[in-house]
Each structure stands twice: as structure tokens, then as C-alpha cells.
Structure 1
Amino acid sequence: MKMLVLGGTAYLSKKTAETAIAQGWDVTVAARGESGEPPRGAEFLRVDRSEPDGLDALGDREFDVIVDVSRIPLHVKRAVEALADRTRHWVFVSSISVYNDYATLNDSLHDPAPDDRGEVTPETYGPDKVACENLVRDRLGDRSAVLRAGLIVGPGDPNDRLGYWTLRTAEGGPMLAPGRPGRPVQWIDVADLADWILRVGEKGTSGTYDAIGPVVSMAEFLETVRSAMPSSKQAVSVWADADFLTEKGVNHWAGPDSLPLWLPDDYTFMLMRPFGPAKDAGLRTRSLAETVLSWWKGYLDNPDVRLAAGLTREKEGAVLGALLQRNRTWEVPAPKTGKE
């Protein structure tokens, strides 16, 4: 199988290319080459889709499968215009950020961004991905698949949302845990998603799917991480309610001063997308324990890495101390009887 990966030098797209190479595919990676090194064994072509002639380096080549993870509508527009007739199947990796309402479980989408938008911001991520999806479907029809990825975790994750909990659990002791223990969470291992992308392309699977694993509770998530770690230390979850965490300057979801995977209540259904359709279409998911151990192995190879998400130990200690102070109950002395 001949595959073109538009990108292929960072995280998911690179993992997809590496997986294809390991399976004996003939892989071409086309990118600017600014996000990292192309995988060993792939042909690398330097392209720049911000330029009108940016794909000329591909010449008139044809491919069995093209994979694109772009979030920039103009880049996707130029790619489908140039390459749609030169591939058997197109797999576009989108995002569950295309949905515009997470207070309920529904399929309502953001209005699409203009399809010639070439500059994007974090605030326009959802509308941009909607526009990209439409461009692929409109041009390739049932020769395309759109995979709306949820939270992608595993080795190489630049956002470190799983990494924070894995490393923090390994350190043991009282561990600040966010919100309700029963709050739902979801994720997909980057290796599982890469493998599914290849099978979708190889089989010519068409349609739109949420690329995400089963739902579990946050308490179950943390317990599984703890159980998976090869450590004699025992992290004990200390749960704090949302209002208290917000008051103490703890952030949601990702980034500095955050408790990863924690979301406001009106985002509850962001991490409750249906897993069944993707499973029926061939998505296979490994256990969380396997994902945790894969991340941990990568960390041991590079223990000086600085995590992009989570609380510092100083910040966590201060919040835990404030929580203890708030929850402390004082014994009321028994009244004196005069007979002492």
C-alpha cells in the first residue's frame, strides 16, 4: 500500500507513518519539516500548503491512501483540489471539538469557518475543523472517512494530560483529585488511533466517526493508573470540589496549574461520546494500564522532561493544605458539671 501523510513529523501523524512503515507500507511524508524529524523509512518531501504551488513537490504521484490531520481550511482545500483524483481513499482526522454543545449529548456542530481561512487561533479550532471536514466530504464523498478524535494520549503526547497523572501517581502520597469521583472521562491511545487510521484507509471505510474509547469514571481512571504503575508508593486521591479548586487558582483540562481531564460541569458530555460506531468500524482499544506503562517507559528514557500540564508539587501542597484546613472539624469540649 502506498500512503501519503500530509504532516507526518509530529505526534499522531508521525505515529501513523511509523505504524504504516512497520506494517510494510510504502510511506511518503509531506510537510514543511518544522515540527520534527520525519520517521525513519519514510520518503520525505518538503511542501508548504500556505503557498499556492506548495504541493508541487508531489508531482503527479498517485497513492492508495492519503491521511491529513490539518486544522487549516485553506491547507485542506488546496490538498483536496490537487490530490483528490490521485488517491483511492482519504482519511481526515478531525476532532470532537467540532461539536458546539457539551451540556447534552448531541451532534450539533459549530458553523464552519470560511474554507479559505489560512490563519487560525485556538478559539476557531472547532469551526476550522468543521470546514475541513466539509471540504473532504464534498470532494471525495464515499472515498473518504472523517475520524473525530477525542483526547489522544500516550508516549509523545505534547500536552501531557495522561503523563501528569502517571508521574504524580508514581510519587505517591496524598494526591489532589478534581471534582466528582464519578465524573466521566474518555481517551484514545495514539497507537490505537494510528492503527485504526491505516485499517480505515486500507478497507476504504467511509463515514464520520468519533475516534474515542469507552467511558469510565475519573475515580476508576485514577485507580487504574495507580494499579498499573510498577511502584511501591501508594498515591491516595483526595477529592476537592470544583468551586474550591477554582477559588484556589486550579485550571481545567490542560496546561500549567491544571488538573488534567477536569472539565466544567457544562462540558460533561465532551467526554461521553459514543464508542460503539467506531468499534463496529474496526477501532480496537488497548487497556489503560498498557497505555500508562507505554508512557512510563518513554518517561524513564527521558526523565528530565518537563510536563506541559499539571500542578507543581508546591501548588498542590498549598491547595491540599487549604483543603485540610477547610474540612477540619474541631472537638467541642464537654460542658463542665462543677464536680471535677
Structure 2
Amino acid sequence: MRTLILGGTKFLGRVLAEEALRRGHNVTTFNRGTSGDDVLGVDAVRGDRTSENDLAALAARGPWDAVVDTSGMTTPMVEGSTRALADAVDRYVFVSTVNVYEGWPTDPLDDESSVREYTPVGPAGESDADEYGRLKAGSEQAVRTTYGEQATLLRPSVILGPHEYVGRIPWWLSRIQAGGRVLAPGRPEWPIQPIDVRDVAAFALDTAERNLAGSYNLAAPIGHSTFGAFLGACRDVTGADAELVWVDDVFLREHGVPEWVGLPLWRDYQGTWHMETTRARAAGLTCRPLEETVADTYAWLRGGAVVSSERSAELGITREREAELLAAWGTREEAAS
């Protein structure tokens, strides 16, 4: 099978390229060559996907059975690539996001949940997350317009695993490995359902190989794991003597801890970790244990990997801030007892 990957050097794109090669695909990647090394064995094509000339030159190298688009971040960008590749690619697999849903992260979601309406200009005061979801919704619309029944839309929730550039698991591994009293947010039994990057890559290629159309929610099953099991796995793989101190959600919000980024993956909206994946599971989606994802991420980091990006720089709280919060929590607990 001839497969084109838009991206191919970073996180999901890289894992996709590796898995496609493992399956015997003839793999072409298209990127600017600024985000990482090429996977050995791919036909690496350099270019800017916002350039009509570069896209035309890429299309001339086809045809391909499928393209997997991991780097389409804005609607105009995806519109350009769908038009340029219309005659060079049979199926267009677009990696979208759970953010396209109107109800995320507050409401439980399923395959039929309402998707945001795309407008070229967002409303005043639009958040970065809402803008991201709106532009991805517009991108989905562009793929469907050009490819129709040959369009496949993947809507992953939180993706974790080796090569993660955001740094969510790496932040927790680093903090827990340092030991001592660790502020653990919320409740240990709080269910979470992040999905391993390798499971996303495998399903994306399955849809391409089997010519599956439509949209698919991608997440681990509801109840797959808990925040307590996640932090416990971080402690197990690092061998640290960390003591997890579970601190109430309301207390953390009252003290100004930013959800999602202050303590990575912490957000207690019901909908954040309540995404039904019925259609994807019926099509063959399988998800490995979160403990395996944690262990393999730790092994990747120990191999010398460095997580560095604008998003990773925003993650976490300082040890000083953590100590202040734990002290305030202890005082509150003593007063209540």
C-alpha cells in the first residue's frame, strides 16, 4: 500500500510512519524538516503545506492509496491540501480532535454529539481551545467536501505515549521521581481515558487499509483507568518513595490552580473523561493498559529524549507552589478534624 503522511517526524506522525513501514507500506512523508529527524525508510519530501507550488510538486509524486493528515491545524491549510491532492490520493484520513464537539469538555460525548459550527472568524473572547475546535471542525468540513465517502475523520481525546511533545506524562514522571509529598489532584478513583499514540496510529492505518469512511471517536474505554492508577504507575516505574497527597478539586480551584495545565490531565468536568467510542470499537479499536503507556514513556525518556515545546513550558506548578498548597491543605484538614 502506498501511504502519504502529512507530518511524519513528531509524535503521532512519527509513530504512524514507523507502524506503516512495519506493515510493509511504501511511505512518503511531507513536512518542512524542522520538527525532527525522518524515520529511516520513508521517502521524505520537503515542503510547506501552505504553499500551492509545494503542494502541486507533492501531488505530482503520487498517486497514493491514502493520506493521513496529522498536521492540518487550520481550515485554509486543510482546504489547500485536499484540493491539491484530490487526484493523487484515494482516501483522506484526517486527524481531528475531540475539541470539535460543542459539549467538550463539560458534557459526556458519543458518536452523534453536536459538532461546532465553522466560521472564518471566531466570536469575541473566543478561547484558544474553542478556536482550535472551530478550525478543526472547518477542516473536517473541507475534507468531506472534497472527498465525500472517501473521507475518514478521527477525533482523538488525549493522546499519550513515547515521543509526546506536550509533556504530560513526562511532567508527572519527573515530579514523582523526585520523591517526597506529591500533590495529587482530586480523587484517586476519578476515571480517565487517555489513549496511547500507538493505538491511534494503528487504528488510523486500519481505516486506510480497510477503506473505512465516517467519523470515529478515539479514546480508551470509559472506566479504562483512574487518576490514582496513573500516578501509581508513575511511582512504580520510577521506583520513587513519593507520597501521594490527594487534594480536593474545589480547594485547588479556590487557590487558583489552572485546570489541565497546572497539574497535567487534572480536570473534573464530567465530560472530560466520558467519551463513548462505540463506532471505533466496532471497527476494531483496541487500547493497551495505561500502565504500559507510562512504562514505555519512561523508557523513552531514559533513552535520552528531551521534551521541549511551547506547550510543555506551560505545564505544571513549581515545587514552592506545591509546598504552599500542601501546607494550606493540611491546615484546612486539621481545622476540619
What TM-score results when the alignment is normalised by the length of structure 1? 0.86
1:43 counterpart = 2:43: yes
C-alpha separation between the residues in 1 aligned to 2:128 and 2:318? 28
Partner residue, 1:55: 55
Q: How does 1:1-340 map to 2 (within 5 A)?
A: 1-58=1-58, 59=60, 61-69=62-70, 70-102=72-104, 103-106=106-109, 107-114=113-120, 123-215=130-222, 216-227=225-236, 229=237, 231=239, 233-254=240-261, 258-263=262-267, 265=268, 267-302=269-304, 308=313, 309-329=315-335
Q: Which amino acid is 1:62 matched to?
A: P
Identity %: 35
Structure 1 104/304 Cα, relative in aligned 2: closer, same or farther at 3 Å? Answer: closer
Q: Which amino acid is 1:242 matched to?
A: D
C-alpha separation between the residues in 2 aligned to 1:209 and 1:276? 9
Runs of 5+ in structure 1 lacking a partner? 332-340
Structure 1 304/53 Cα, relative in aligned 2: closer, same or farther at 3 Å? Answer: closer
Post-superposition shift, 1:66?
0.5
The answer (yes or no) to whether the contact 1:96–1:270 under 8 Å persists in 2 is: no
- Number of equivalences: 320
Structure 1 145/243 Cα, relative in aligned 2: closer, same or farther at 3 Å? Answer: same
Structure 1 159/2 Cα, relative in aligned 2: closer, same or farther at 3 Å? Answer: same
Rg larger in 1 or in 2? 1
C-alpha separation between the residues in 1 aligned to 2:167 and 2:27? 28
Mean alpha-carbon deviation: is it higher for 88-97 or for 311-320? 311-320
The answer (yes or no) to whether the contact 1:45–1:57 under 8 Å persists in 2 is: no
Report the 3-state secondary structure (helix = DSSP H, G, I; strand = E; otherwise coil) of the residue aligned with 2:65: strand
Partner residue, 1:337: none
C-alpha separation between the residues in 2 aligned to 1:218 and 1:122? 23
C-alpha separation between the residues in 1 aligned to 2:305 and 2:39? 23
Structure 1 261/80 Cα, relative in aligned 2: closer, same or farther at 3 Å? Answer: same
The answer (yes or no) to whether the contact 2:62–2:89 under 8 Å persists in 1 is: no
C-alpha separation between the residues in 1 aligned to 2:235 and 2:156? 26
Runs of 5+ in structure 2 lacking a partner? 122-126
C-alpha separation between the residues in 2 aligned to 1:207 and 1:4? 19
C-alpha separation between the residues in 2 aligned to 1:312 and 1:98? 32
What TM-score results when the alignment is normalised by the length of structure 2? 0.87
Post-superposition shift, 1:92?
0.6
Mean alpha-carbon deviation: is it higher for 106-115 or for 280-289? 106-115
The answer (yes or no) to whether the contact 1:99–1:108 under 8 Å persists in 2 is: yes
Q: Which amino acid is 2:3 matched to?
A: M
Q: Which amino acid is 1:14 matched to?
A: R
Query: Deviations along 1:71-96, whole A, 9 cap, x unmatched?
Result: 21112111111212322322110000
Q: Which has the higher contact order (CA 8 A, sep 6+)?
A: 2
